[in-house]
Amino acid sequence: MKKFILGLLMVLGLLGAAGAAPVPADDAVGQKTQAYFDDVFAKLKLAADQQPDAATFREAMKPVVAGVPGVFGGSFIDKKWVIRQVLFPSHFLARGFDLKGVSQLHYFQDKLKEAPGPQLSEPAHGNLMQPRLIAMRYPVIKDGKVAGLVSVMVRTPFFLKAVGLDQAKAYKIICLGKEAESVGTLGENYKEFKLALPSTEWVIKYKMQ
């Protein structure tokens, strides 16, 4: 139980967890990327610490919406992985959707049972109905047990701009060993850094102009 609680309290330095080497100090993009996720997860933690439910979720998430550029939406997910509330009323059709049937989330559902912690999904490719997105989730803990999750979805181009990857000639994002998104051809002499969370690992390779 002590290890469980300590793991949940870790926010600062989360991206250096799980044995990953620190992002090199001279890698500006790497440092910005680490700072970006540290900041978003810190804001999600503040929302989760309020132990929101479907009725109070939107109020708890106001600092996230105000402080994170490019928020597309978000949701309060109950402990059974069913969406009970959405961040923006226009997404009301998502309420009641059971995420247990989403194969891309099975890994994260298992991780939540094993070791509850912040979750960062791989970039979604998007389609005509939905833009490219990055999803982040944080567990809500009540009486030492997972009561649900607060989540936020950020438009990928806003993330890329925030960390400087929008200026890259080429980049590749690899999640848990699988390529999730790439632009251009890296060739030789590219930079690479690793980011780790309790539930996932990203490797980003890039080459600037």
Q: Is residue 193 part of a domain?
A: yes
Which CATH number characterizes residue 190's domain? 3.30.450.20
pTM: 0.85
62 exposure class (CB count in 10 Å sphere: 0-12, 13-18, 19+): exposed
Count up the domains in the chain and report the number. Answer: 1
pLDDT truncated to tens, each residue of the chain (209 aa)?
Answer: 333 333 333 332 333 333 456 788 889 999 999 999 999 999 999 999 999 999 999 999 999 999 999 999 999 999 999 999 999 999 999 999 999 999 889 989 999 998 899 999 888 776 766 789 999 999 999 999 999 999 999 999 999 999 999 999 999 999 988 899 999 999 999 999 998 877 888 999 999 97
DSSP 23-72: PPTT-HHHHHHHHHHHHHHHHHHHHHHT---TTTHHHHTHHHHHHSTTEE
User: Can you say whether residue 96 is alpha, beta or left, with left for phi > 0 and alpha for psi between -120 and 50 degrees?
Assistant: left
Classify residue 7: in a domain, yes or no: no
Range of the domain at 110: 13-208
Contact between 194 and 173 under an 8 Å Cβ cutoff? The reply is no
Residue type (1 letter), 182: S
Task: Kindly state whether residue 45 falls inside one of the protein's structural domains.
Answer: yes
Q: Is residue 1 part of a domain?
A: no
The CA radius of gyration of the chain, in Å to the nearest whole number, is 17
